[in-house]
Each structure stands twice: as C-alpha cells, then as structure tokens.
Structure 1
Amino acid sequence: MKHEISSKKAYHETMVAVYNLMNKGEAKLTAAELKKLSAMAAAAEKYEDEVLGLKPKKEPASIAEVVELKMFEQKMSQAKLATELGIGKSKVSEILSGKRKPDVQFLKGLHKILNIDAAFLLEHA
C-alpha cells in the first residue's frame, strides 16, 4: 500500500489518521490497518524530511553524537542515562567527552535503552 502526501492539508489529514489509528492500540488494529498505518507513517516521514526540512542536516558520526541526539529526543539527562545503565555519572561524562573509551556494558546498554543500532555502535567503538 502506497500513501502520498503532496500538501500541508494532506499531511495534516494523514497525521490525524495516524493518531486515530495509534489511539486504538496496536493490538486492536487489523492487518489492513497496520499496513495502512505503516504506509502513512513512511509518507509523513518523507514529507517531513523533504518538504518541512525536519531531517537532520548532519547524521551523527560518533557514539557521543548519536547518544546526545537520542538523549535529546527522549528528554533524558546524562544522570538519568547513567542510572539506567547502572554506571556512574562520571563514566558517562568521560565517555561522551572522549576521555574514555566505551566498554561492552556501556554499548549494550545504549543499544537496549536508547535503541541505537548495534552495527553503528560496533563500527564506532
């Protein structure tokens, strides 16, 4: 199923439809509704990136950059990240500032808590 958005009005209508489907709850959606939701979400993301200019100008190039981006998106502080990872705040600070290399526990935690792609983490560790 393909969904196209060609105007702000169509974008707004699509977003209303997406929110309505999401409010039903994923478990209550039919297979057709799930397919429709996926197509609308992809079209909305494309419209946001290409027309509204919401795509980041620069993709994160380091673990520190991607962690900071994910923390910003989730409104998470370094202290909260440290607590969730089960490590000290100073260790998180040192890793993000480049004074210390990330260890396996840190990388696994980032993957699990911030949903950072494991391949990206391994390539940049």
Structure 2
Amino acid sequence: MKHTINSRKDYHETMVKVYRLMDKGEDNLAPQELKQLAAMAAAAEKYEDEVLGLKPGKEPQTITEAVELKMFEQKMSQASLADTLGMGKSKLSEILNGKRKPDIPFLKALYKILKIDAGFLLEHA
C-alpha cells in the first residue's frame, strides 16, 4: 500500500488519520489498518524530511553527537540524562567531553534506553 503527500493540506489530513488509528491502539487495528498506518507514517516522514525540512542537517558522527541529538529530541538536560541512564553526572560529563572512554554499561544504556543503534555505537566506541 502506497500513500503520497503532495501538500500541507494532504499532510494535515494524513496526520489526523494517523492519530485516529493510533488512538485505537495497535492491538485493536485490523491488518489492513496496520498497513495503512505504516504507509501513511512513511509518507509523513518523507514529507517532513524533504518539504518541511525537519530532518537533521547532518547525521551524528560520534557517540557524543548522537547522545546530544537524543537529549535535544527528548528535551533532556545532561543531569536528567545521567539520572535516566542510572549513572553519575560527572561520569556522563567526562564521557561526553572526551575525557573518559565510554564503557560497556554506558553503551548498553544508550542502546536500551535512548534506542541508539547498536551498530553505530560499536563502530564509534
């Protein structure tokens, strides 16, 4: 199933439909509705990236950049991130400032809690 968005009006109408389907709950959607939701979400993301300019200007190149992007997206301070990851604020600060190498528990927390791609973390650790 393919869905295209050609205007802001199409985008708005698509998002209304997406929210209505999401309000039903994933377990309450028929297989056809799930396919429709996936197609609309993909089209909306493409429109947001290409037309609305919501895609980040550049992809993160380091673990620090990836963490900072997640902090920005989730409106988190460094202190609240440290609490969320279950680590000391000074340790997080040292890792993000390059004074300390990221350890395995830190990388696992980034993967599990912040949902940062494991491949990216392994390549940049």
Q: CA deviation at 1:85?
A: 2.0
CA RMSD after TM alignment:
0.8
What is the CA deviation profile of residues 39-91 of structure 1, one whole-angstrom value per residue up to 9, with x for unaligned ones? 00000000111111111111111000010111111122222221222211000
1:99: which partner in 2? 99
Q: TM-score, normalised by structure 1?
A: 0.96
Gaps of 5+ in 1: none
Q: Identity of aligned pairs, percent?
A: 75
Give the alignment of 1:47-62 within 5 angstroms: 47-62=47-62
Q: Report the AA paired with residue 21 of structure 1.
A: L
Q: Which runs of 4+ in 1 moved over 4 A?
A: none
Give the alignment of 1:44-123 within 5 angstroms: 44-123=44-123
2:5 is the counterpart of 1:5 = yes
Q: Distance in 1 between matches of 2:108 and 2:15?
A: 34
